[in-house]
Each structure stands twice: as structure tokens, then as C-alpha cells.
Amino acid sequence: MEPFFKKLLAMDRRWIFLALGLAVIFPTFIHLNLPGLKPSPNVTAVYDLIEGMPEGSKVLVSFDFDPASKPELAPQGVAVLRHLFRKKHKVVAMGLWVTGVTMAKDIVTRSAKESNAKYGEDYVYLGWKPGNFAVIENMAGDIHGCFPKDNDGNETASLPLMKGIHKLAEFDLVVSLAAGSPGIDTWIAYGSDKYHFKMTGGTTAVNVGSMAQYVQAGQMVGLIGAMRGAAEYELLIDKRADAAAGMDAISLGHYLIVIFVLLGNIAYFVTRPRKGGA
Amino acid sequence: MEIFGAWLAVGLTLFMFSFLYKDNPFYKVGENLYVGITIGYFVIQLWYKTWIDKVWDVLKGEAHDRFLVLIPVVIGILLLTRFVPKISWMSRWAFAFVIGYGSGLAIPATLTTSVVIQAQATAKPLITMPDKSEAAAKATEGAKANAEKVAAAPAPAGETTEAKAKREEGVRVARYKYLNARSQSEYSFLTAYKDFTTIVIFVGVFSVLFYFFFSIEHKGPVRVFSRIGILFLMIYFGASYGNTVMGRLSLLYGRILDLKDYSRPMYGCATPVILVLMIAFLAFLHVKNKGKEEEHAA
Amino acid sequence: MIRAVAIVLLATTAAAAQAPADFKVYDKPGDAGGAIIAEWKGLPDEGKPMAEGGVEYVVSLGLSKDGPWTEIERFPGTLHRKNEAPDLFGFSKSNDSEHFIELEGLVPPPGGPWLGTGRSLPTWVKLEVKSPAGAAVAGPLMAEAAPDWWSWNKSNVLLFILFFGGATFWLISKARRDPNIFVRRIPGLDAMEEAIGRATEMGRPILYLNGLNGMDSISTIASVSILGQVSKRVAAYDSQIMVPCYDAVVLSVCQEVMREGYTAAGRPDKYREQDAWFITQEQFSYVASVDGLMIREKPAACLYMGYYYAESLLLAETGGSTGAIQIAGTDSITQLPFFIACCDYTLIGEELYAASAYLSREPLQLGSLRSQDAGKIFIIATLLIGALTAAAGFPFVKHLMATF
């Protein structure tokens, strides 16, 4: 037994990489549809909030992530946008990360096309401006001054949707899908805590722990966490997509990691030098 | 163009993944490209979204206060004097403005959001007293009636499995809302659970704050309390570790999905072709380096 | 009998037609202008539906006492209670039965918007009370909107900043007068001494990393400060240290700090500028290079102090595989779990700053550390008192901490 575990501990780590890679690749070819996906209270809170708003509510969606976090946050964005367009809410999209501008536009445009939303009337994409928290402060006072033109160069004041919106506080809800900072914490510190609009959002798995404090303190309503949160949201809006499909791969990967951790711990205890005499 | 984009995406993805095997020229190309492209993209965005939109177009416009925009432009230029030793002292004024403005904006906001509101949310009664008012009793009755109504509603004919799951979810949600309303007006298991959570958070906040207290020696009761803090910290770090692993796996899945997508003939089978070429090149390098090592050894 | 009925009818009619008491109109306090407030005391039975004797309030505005009047809002007696706006009226129990309405969009005085923003022309406000039995009028009263210099809503945050800032300045000046301020010993620091001793005995070098942030990062400043003390010990023990740097500015600071350390130990001749060198400012290239260094040089101790990103586990794992004793210190919350799993000792978050203050005994660092402890005591006391008073039914601490 001991020689086996010694060999295990000395194993080239690249075999572990390969095993993990296969565990994630396998479900992309064979759909396992593993059971057990149920909406959590935090995700349900976001869904209920959007579902409960009167038709035509004005919602700002901020895509605060770059392509590195796309697998986790893009499905969240797509699911939330589908819900917003289905409820005929008016969507104003933007981003605080420069590297995510084009990607965010792609997500918004595809979701809008799917829902037959009209640009300028049902949704607008403002794009990005530098300054992080300064952008939020600027928008709080005068959105048209902060974004005189949208991402395509149209005068913001000329867009029908933007005619009725001048300040951040006029939005019925702000949704921040964030991979870090600037993100949810920035929107809360410089936005919702100061100008009192409703706030919700989604974040990556790494940041869920840090953002949970805002949910607990009531500074935001619910939180969509990681790809799992996106899968739960897809379940709630009855449209399984990328995230729900990805849960099989994530689950298999997790099972494998748990097995490795257990094996590693057993190997550690079996192979460590014993105290005292033979 | 789309095929070119697919090949580029696959190529760069596989270049970066090749680091898992070992450091190699493909990885170096990918990393340098990433750094360069990010900087170039940022410069272009800055030019069009900041300089053109916020300075050039404003100056060309007709607003009577348009020249005010030159003040922040001058401050920004002063920052650049840092690179000219003789006049670098001017950059201190600009830095002072930036730091002063930044601190003035950031300190109250961060203090409010991360300290005051969090403390306010934590400073609540550890044991919830039931609300015996008429309004609370009415709300409980209403929630109970709704839960019973939803549970008693018959299943419609020809109900699909998905619709059944949704209906059952609705029954569960209505029952939860009733239990929640009931927990406001009488002390129930749910109230006890919420109180337990409050107490755990309370103890956690206190003990972790004690752990990071450096002005007194950690002896006696303080040591015990700070050890509890360490326990909370380790639980958090364990959860954070697990969350990070989940996040990384999600990113891996996202990349693999794209690689699978771009292996289709419509994208010129980008994934398998590039993979095979890379493996062949790395094998060639390996054999070549092995030959060199044997030569040196000899 | 008829007289009694008539008296009752008269009384009922008089009560329903009663104008609300204490009708006031004034400029909204603590704002940038552009709004006025009208407030009044509620009437008995106003919460009932209209048919059962409830009331409806109608608020109208005009630019003169005699009108013309523009109706602004019409609402039942259950709405616009003062308890909905604690930022304006606080948390008094009487707010449950008193009403207010905020009136915006007032007519500004002539003369352009960019100076005198927030001012309005004198505006008259009339309040009508309608009920099934009759109607009554309160006012009209006049007010002008104007911007204010001070916002009372944020006074609690200001007080906290003044307290904390004041404590910081006072404690820094106290540390300047008496640098022997007590800072508790951090376990990782003992391990650092042991690591340096071990490296000397084994004749192998110490590897010291400053993290991946620049000199503007607090953790890098703390790391460089610790490097100064480590260099002093290394010089005293005649050991060897390697400091591969990610940032060029950090490199020059490290070289200066190391030179000072060696000089302070009385061994300036032993200092070698090439002990600290710049590798690259690319994350994984830096990591690959440091990993290669670890495998080749096999340091006896690896010290990771500063801010790290995804490369933390790569560094710690490679260091562990060489058998080195590893001590990490970072305030990067996401990387702490990896360092804790792989390293022998980890300085968690603020412990890194405390270690720097402990070793350097700089008044600025000591004073700041002490003031942070003062802040923690304040928060602990607030939480305790807040929880106890809230449980006793007096949530005044919670109200004091309310932010708007």
C-alpha cells in the first residue's frame, strides 16, 4: 500500500492535468444531465426582483468583466438580458472594463436580436468610459454629459430611450456583472449607497465570498454566483443554455478533484514517517 | 474573416495551454501578443472614448463653458512632466490633485459601504422577538391561505414534466413564504435558524477582529477568542479555495467549448490541425534538445 | 334628540372638514437645491378608505398667494408618511402619523442655470383635505428652494473620519515621541529568523519575492520594509539573498533598502548590487523564471511578501518541491488560501503590515497600526452596544449609523 501511495505522491502533475482535462471535455460530447440543479435563494431573489418590476422599467446593466471571465459571466448576462427583454423592460447597457467593450456589445446585440428588441427604443449600448468610480459619479449627475454619444457614435440625447433618463437615480434597477474591481463594490460604494437606487448583480466564483457581505447587509438584492448561478437563472427563466450544459463538466471536474484531494490526504498519512521505534 | 478569427482564437488558446506541458516558444508568443494587444486596444479606446469624445468634440462645440475642459487637460499633461527631470516637480501638483480628489471621493464612500453599513447590518438583536401585532398576524394568515391554495390546485391535464417541476417549485416557494411570514409572528424553527446565523456572524466578526488586534498580547481569553477567529478565517479560506477551483474549471470549460466549436469543418478544423502541428513541433524540439544534452554529456 | 343628532352631525362634519395641524413649507435641508418640503400632522381616521371616513390630500403649487394653482399630487391618507424619509425626519415614533411631500421641478429664477443652480422663485403651496363629509384647506404658505452648504445626513460618516483621522495623527506623533510602542509578536516573524539561520547553516541562499505590484501598493511598501530587516540579518549572518524583481521601480528601491540593511549591520562591503535584479514585467514569464531559479539554486528559504495573483500556487508548489521553508505574507484575499495550503507560515492580510511595523519600528507605520486597532475597538464597542440596545427595543445605535 505504502509504495503505491509513494508513487502517487511522486507522480508527474501533468497526468492530473490530463485527467482533469478529459473530465471536462467528456461531457461536452456526451450529455450526462446530472440531477440536483435547484435555484438558490440569492439567485431566486434576483429573478423575483426583475419579475416583479412593472413592464417598461428602466434597467442599467453594467458588463464589468473582460473575456477572461466570459465563461462565467456571459451566460449570466445572456440569461438576465433574456429575462429583461421578455418582461419588456428598457435596457441601457455599458461597461467599466475597457477590455470587455466589444464582447459586451456582442452579448447585448445577440440577446436583443433574439428578443426582437429595437435599438434606441428598447435597448441602448453606451459602451465604456475611463475613470471607474468617476464614471459612476458622473452618471449620477448627468448621464448625457458622461456619455454624450453611445458606443456607435449616436448622440445619446437623440435616442428615444435615453430621452427620459438623465441621472442614475432614475433607473429602477442597476445590474452589475463583475469579475472584480471596478464592479459591484464600486457601484455600491459610489452609486447605490449614495444615490439610493436598487442594486443587484452577478460575479465570478472567486469573488462570491467577498460580495456576499453586501447581500447580507441589504446593500444589494440577491447575487448570481459563477456559472452555477447562471445555470440556476436559466432554470428560472425556463431556457437552459450554456451554463446549464456546463454544469455536467463542472460537476465531473469537482468529483475528480475531491477524489484527488482524498487520495492525496490518505497518501500523506500513510507515507509520513512514524514516531517511536519499529 | 470568421475563419481567420477562429484559427487565431484556437491557436492562441492552445499556445497558452501548452504551458501545462512546459515553458516553450508557443507560450512565449501567446503571452507577448496578449500584453501588446491589450496595450494597443487600451490606447485606441482611450483615444476615441476620452480624447475625441470628451475633449476634442467639446472644444469644437459651441457651449459657452467649453474651455473649462482645458483645466483637466493641463493637469493631465502636468502628470507627464514626471519624465523630464528638470520640470518633474510640476507633476507633484497634478498628483496632489489626483490623490486629493481620489481620497476625498474614495474614503467616505468606502467607509460608508464597507464599514458603517456593514456594522449597522451586524448590530441587530441576537434573539428575534416575535411581532405580535395585528398586521403580522394578518400577513401570516394571508401567506398560509395562499400556500394552501397553491398546494390544493389540481394538476392540469397533459402537464409536461417541466411544467410539473415548475408547479411543484411554486408550491415549495408559497410554503416557504408562509413559513417566513410565520417566523415573524411566532418563534419557529426558521426564526431559530435565522438567530443562529446572526449569532454565528456576530461571533465570527468579533473573533476575527480580535485576531487582527496587534496592540495587546494574545494571552488568556483573548487568545481563545482569536483562535476562534482563526477558525472562521480558515473556513472562509477553504470556501474561497473551493470557489476558486470552481471558477477555474468554468473558465476551462468555456475554452474547451470554443475549441470544440472551432473544430468543425466550417472553421477549417482549426483545433485538430493546430493541435497536431504543435505536438509535432514540440516533439521535434524535445528530440533536438535531448540530442544536444547527450552531446554535452558526452 | 334632534338637537343631539344635529350636534353629532355638526361635530362629524367639523371633524371631517378640519384642516391638518402644523402645516409647514420650507426649503429642503442639506441638498443641492431645487426642492422644497411641505409637512403636516395627520388626521384621525385618515388611514380608512374614503367611503369609511378616510381622507384624500391634494397638494397644489402656485407662484402667487392667490394662484393660479397647479395640482401636483393627490394621494390617500395612508401615503407620504414621514417615516418613509428617515434621512429628512429621523426615526421618531411621531413620524408614523405625520405627512410630508417633496416638491421638485420648481421654476428657477431668470439668469442662466450655471450660476445659482438650485434656486427657485418663491413658491406657494396649498394643501386641500377632501373627505366624504367635506373639504378643508391649509395654507397657502411660501418657500424658496436654495442649495445648502452642509448635508447633515452624512455627519455620522464625517465624525467617524474625524475620529479615525485624528486618532491616526495623534498616534503617529505619539509613536514619534516613543517608538517603543507595543506590537504583539507575529508567529511568522519567528519563523523568518529561523529560516535565515537555517539558510546560513545549510550554506544555501534565501529567495525573497516582493510580489507583482508596484511601489504604489501598500503590500509592496510593507514587503520592501521587511526586506530591509531581512537584509540586515543576512548581512549579520554572512548569508546570501536573491531578490528577483517584477517591477523596475521596485528593483531600485530594493537595492537601496538592501544597501542600507547591510550598512546598518556593519557589513557594507558584503553588499552586492546584483543580489537584486529585474526579470520581466510579464506575469507567467516572471513565474517561469523564478521557478527555474528555485530548481537550480535550491534556496533554503523562500519568502513571498507582497501582492500576488494567479501565480501564487505555481511559486509555492515549486518552492515546496525543493524542500525550502516557505513563509508568505499577502493581503490578496484570493491567493491566501493557496499560500496557507502550501507554505509553512503565512502572514494574513494586516499581519503583513504589522510585521513591517514591528520590524522597522517606523513611527508612521506604528502609529497607523495603532489607529487601526483603535478603529477596531470602536467597531467592536458599537456592535456590542448596538446589539444590546436593539434587543432592549432601543435601536438608537442602529439609527446613528444609518447612512443616506
Q: Point out the least confidently predicted range of A95-109, A217-231, A235-249, C160-174.
A: A235-249
Q: How confident is the model at residue C5 (pLDDT cuts 50, 70, 90)?
A: very low
Q: Which residue of A has its CA nearest to B44?
A: A98
Q: Give the mean pLDDT of chain A.
A: 90
Q: Which residue of A has its CA nearest to B111?
A: A189
What is the structure's pLDDT at C17? Answer: 61
Per-residue model confidence as pLDDT tens digits over C56-96: 999 999 999 998 999 999 998 888 999 888 889 988 888 98
Proportion of chain B above pLDDT 70, given as a percent: 99
How far is it, in rounded angstroms, from Cα C379 to Cα C160? 10
Per-residue model confidence as pLDDT tens digits over C13-46: 444 467 888 999 999 998 888 899 999 999 888 8
Per-residue model confidence as pLDDT tens digits over A119-159: 999 999 999 998 888 899 999 989 998 999 999 989 999 99
Q: How far is A217 from chain B (nearest CA, A)?
A: 5
Question: Residue C142: how many CA atoms within 13 Å on its side-chain side?
Answer: 9
Per-residue model confidence as pLDDT tens digits over C175-209: 999 888 888 888 888 888 889 999 999 999 999 99
Q: Measured in whole angstroms, how far is the alpha carbon of residue C224 from the centre of its chain?
A: 27
Q: How far is A189 from chain B (nearest CA, A)?
A: 5
B192 to chain A, any CB pair closer than 8 A? The answer is no
**For residues A222-243, average pLDDT:** 90
Per-residue model confidence as pLDDT tens digits over C93-139: 889 899 999 998 888 888 755 555 788 889 999 999 998 878 899 98
B279 to chain A, any CB pair closer than 8 A? The answer is no
Q: Measured in whole angstroms, how far is the alpha carbon of residue A39 from the centre of its chain?
A: 15
Rg, chain B, Cα only: 32
Q: Is B34 helix (H, G, I), strand (E, B) or coil?
A: helix
Please give the angle made by the CA atoms of B290, B296 and B298, to the nearest 5 degrees: 105
Q: What is the ipTM of this complex?
A: 0.82
Q: Point out the least confidently predicted range of B41-45, C170-174, C226-230.
A: B41-45
CA distances C57 to C25, C60, C101, C126, Å, are 15, 10, 11, 10
B97 neighbors B71 (Cβ within 8 angstroms)? no
Phi/psi for B232 (5° steps) reads -60, -40
Q: How confident is the model at residue C6 (pLDDT cuts 50, 70, 90)?
A: very low
Q: Give the mean pLDDT of chain B.
A: 86
Q: Measured in whole angstroms, how far is the alpha carbon of residue C288 from the centre of its chain?
A: 38
Chain C neighbors of A264, CB-CB under 8 A: none
Map grid coordinates 463594490 to a residue: A185
A52 to chain B, any CB pair closer than 8 A? The answer is no
Q: How confident is the model at residue C9 (pLDDT cuts 50, 70, 90)?
A: very low
Per-residue model confidence as pLDDT tens digits over B16-30: 888 887 778 888 888
Secondary element (H or E) of residue A126: strand A123-128
**Identity (one letter) of the amino acid at B36?**
G
Q: Is B250 helix (H, G, I), strand (E, B) or coil?
A: helix
Give the dihedral of Cα atoms B18, B19, B23, B28; nearest 10 deg: 80
CA distances A236 to A46, A203, C281, Å, are 10, 18, 45
CB pairs under 8 A between A and B: 134
Q: How far is C10 from chain A (nearest CA, A)?
A: 45
Q: How confident is the model at residue B111 (pLDDT cuts 50, 70, 90)?
A: confident
Per-residue model confidence as pLDDT tens digits over C292-348: 899 889 999 999 999 998 889 889 988 988 899 999 999 998 899 999 999 999 999
Residue, of A151 and A275, whose pLDDT is higher: A151
Cell of C86: 428617515
Please tell me which of the candidates A72, A130, A219 has its beta carbon nearest to residue B247. A72
The DSSP secondary structure of C292-356, one letter per residue, reads HHHHHH--SEEEEEEE--TTHHHHHHHHHHTT-EEEEEE--TTTHHHHHHH-SEEEETHHHHHHH
Please tell me which of the candidates B54, B112, B250 has its beta carbon nearest to residue A246. B250
B214 to chain C, any CB pair closer than 8 A? The answer is yes
Residue contact B120–C154, C-beta within 8 A: no
pLDDT at A42 over 50: yes
Secondary element (H or E) of residue A174: strand A173-178
Residue contact C184–B202, C-beta within 8 A: no
Per-residue model confidence as pLDDT tens digits over B235-256: 999 998 898 888 889 989 989 9
Question: Residue B18: how many CA atoms within 13 Å on its side-chain side?
Answer: 25
Q: Which residue of A has its CA nearest to C32?
A: A141
Q: Give the mean pLDDT of chain C.
A: 87
Contacts of C166 (CB under 8 A, 6+ apart): none
> Biggest alpha carbon distance in chain A?
87
**Identity (one letter) of the amino acid at C53?**
G
Q: Measured in whole angstroms, how far is the alpha carbon of residue C26 from the centre of its chain?
A: 33
> Biggest alpha carbon distance in chain C?
117
Sheet architecture: strand order including C276-278 = C276-278, C241-245, C206-211, C301-307, C325-330, C345-348
Substitution target in A219, A228, A242, A261 with the highest count of B β-carbons within 10 Å is A219
A238 to chain B, any CB pair closer than 8 A? The answer is yes
Strands C56-62 and C123-131: antiparallel
**For residues A10-35, average pLDDT:** 86
Q: Which residue of C has its CA nearest to B234?
A: C337
A197 neighbors A224 (Cβ within 8 angstroms)? no
Question: Residue C376: how many CA atoms within 13 Å on its side-chain side?
Answer: 19
Q: Point out the least confidently predicted range of A115-124, B269-278, C46-55, C363-372.
A: C46-55
How far is it, in rounded angstroms, from Cα B82 to Cα B76? 11
Q: Which residue of C has its CA nearest to A193?
A: C404
Residue contact A206–C334, C-beta within 8 A: yes
Per-residue model confidence as pLDDT tens digits over B183-223: 777 888 888 888 898 899 999 999 999 999 999 888 888 89
Q: Structural domains in chain C?
A: 10-149 (2.60.40.10), 184-360 (3.40.50.720)
Residue contact A210–C404, C-beta within 8 A: no
**For residues A87-98, average pLDDT:** 95
How far is it, in rounded angstroms, from Cα A111 to Cα B134? 47
What is the structure's pLDDT at B107? Answer: 85
